[in-house]
Amino acid sequence: MFKRFGLVALVAVMLVACGKSYTPKEVADNFFKAVQAKNFDEANKFATPKGIEAVGQLKDFTKADPASVKFNFVVAEPVITGDSATVKYTNEGVEKTARLKKVDGDWLIDVTIEDLLGDAGAPVETPMEPVVEPTADAQSDTTKK
């Protein structure tokens, strides 16, 4: 009896130690759910090093201006091609595509900050207005007032 219990316990420990291998859909769902919950440490578990960097930037961006970052992700079924996959997702009605890839046998999401924030994460370039000196007429108008 004790031998059988010991064998069952050993098998259970081995299964837990091996960890779970997630499908691309599970990785995408878990990643976006974690981001939506602003649980960035959890999101990192499903990301490549590039994705972890993006999550860090997103965390900083969210801390700096929490009201401007809104997440409402809807994730579609991934398209798998060998050791890579793509998954379409929407956030606040804007459709984007994320890449996933197999790293050491595990699927991980490979996103950038632009993938996560779109235009909100890109630097804003404002064109410089030329400096125009007031004409003599405009100067005299201001001195009359």
Q: Confirm whether 91 is domain-assigned.
A: yes
Average pLDDT on 86-114 reads: 93
Q: Confirm whether 134 is domain-assigned.
A: no
Q: Confirm whether 15 is domain-assigned.
A: no
Contact 98, 86 (CB under 8 A): yes
pLDDT for 66: 82
Tally of domains within the chain: 1
Q: Confirm whether 87 is domain-assigned.
A: yes
32 band by pLDDT with thresholds 50, 70 and 90 = very high
pLDDT for 67: 82
Q: Confirm whether 29 is domain-assigned.
A: yes
Average pLDDT on 130-143 reads: 56
Q: Confirm whether 28 is domain-assigned.
A: yes
Residue 39 pLDDT > 50: yes
Residue 20 pLDDT > 90: no
Average pLDDT on 40-68 reads: 93
pLDDT for 89: 93
Q: Which domain holds residue 46?
A: 20-120
Q: Confirm whether 113 is domain-assigned.
A: yes
Residue 127 pLDDT > 70: no
What are the percentages of helix, strand and coil residues in the chain, rounded to 5? 50, 20, 30
pLDDT above 70: percentage of residues in the chain: 68
For the stretch 66-73, contacts whose Cβ atoms lie closer than 8 Å and that sit 24 or more positions apart, written own/partner, are 68/120, 69/117, 69/120, 71/32, 71/35, 71/36, 71/38, 72/36, 73/32, 73/33, 73/35, 73/36
Residue 71 pLDDT > 50: yes
139: number of Cβ within 10 Å = 11
Average pLDDT on 8-29 reads: 66
> In this structure, what CATH number is given to the domain that contains residue 38?
3.10.450.50
Q: Confirm whether 138 is domain-assigned.
A: no
